[in-house]
Amino acid sequence: MGGVQSIQVSAEEADQRLDRWFRRRFPALTHGRLEKLLRTGQVRVDGARARASTRLTAGQTVRVPPLPTAPPDDAAPRPKPAAAIRTGDLDDLRAAILHQDEWLIALNKPAGLATQGGSGLTRHLDAMLDGLKRHPDDERPRLVHRLDKDTSGVLLLARTARAAKALAEAFRRRETRKVYWALVVGLPKPRAGTIRAALRKEGGPKGERVVWDDATGKPAITDYQVVDDAAGTVSWLAMEPRTGRTHQLRAHAMVLGTPILGDGKYGGQGAFIGGAEVARRMHLHARHLAMPHPAGGTLVVEAPLPPHMTEAFRYFGFRQQDAPALEDRR
């Protein structure tokens, strides 16, 4: 059983119910145990009592009391213990640092590494964050936002609670600018534009996903531009989300009728092309991030492509230097 934790709500966790937030972060915690902790005031949000139905907002702090590492014997089967963090993982993580200072760390997250744990998932970034502390007594770095497991690119961590609050507020106010590079199957028409398609979460045999639903979904907006295409078979897109919905770019690529290359969850077999030269992995990369720095000024970070996308660019004849210059849309 661990000690008391104070966990900052990330921008991508905003609008979640408190009980759902706990289920995702602490899968060993039973519903009955959580209800008791809430009734007795041991769980608090920004210092105040909360209910299971409380909706969280970015930047809030959730007080988490000491929790059992596994459910009691009469509850659900105990999950397997987390695997020890491998030295090689930490070495790779430190090598992926793009920028760091006393406030924050910017990483080039590799594709295939989950940001946070979940049911049956023991290897994830959140479990490695202690390895990024400069000194043993430093605060543990905090996740400010998330990337899908198979999406690579710029990911921000806050070194302190103060920095986490400032960065989460910038995300909440949409003062950030994020540009993703994606390879998609087919050629979008028109070649540039803005996708306005509301998205709604739903469950299914392939796990949680989002669907286009303008009637009941949450507003989702993405600007896109075709940078280049390989005779219409595969296109290179620059995609800039104005909102931050779960799987937004993956779902909006489907709205265009051009699934992201390798994204079988959304595109099925249509997300793959023949030939062994192209990896059967998702080709979506968080290339560029610009946002206010907590100490003042603007933080600008760019992440190099992962190896499988570098190879795909070479195969299709795409040149990174052909990417359009970034212009301020505001």
Which residues are annotated as catalytic? 148
Decide if 265 contacts 206 (C-beta within 8 A).
yes
Tokens of 182: 């994606």
Give the span between the Cα atoms of 81 and 83, in whole angstroms: 6
First to last CA, the chain: 49
Per DSSP (E only), the strands in the chain are 5-8, 44-45, 48-49, 61-64, 97-100, 104-109, 142-143, 152-158, 177-185, 192-196, 199-202, 209-212, 221-230, 234-241, 284-292, 298-302
CA atoms within 13 A on the CB side of 62: 27
d(CA 181, CA 231): 18
Residue 314 identity: R
Strand stretches in 34-168, DSSP E: 44-45, 48-49, 61-64, 97-100, 104-109, 142-143, 152-158
Q: Give the integer Cα–Cα distance in Å for 183 and 239.
A: 10
Q: Quote the tokens at residue 153.
A: 């690119």
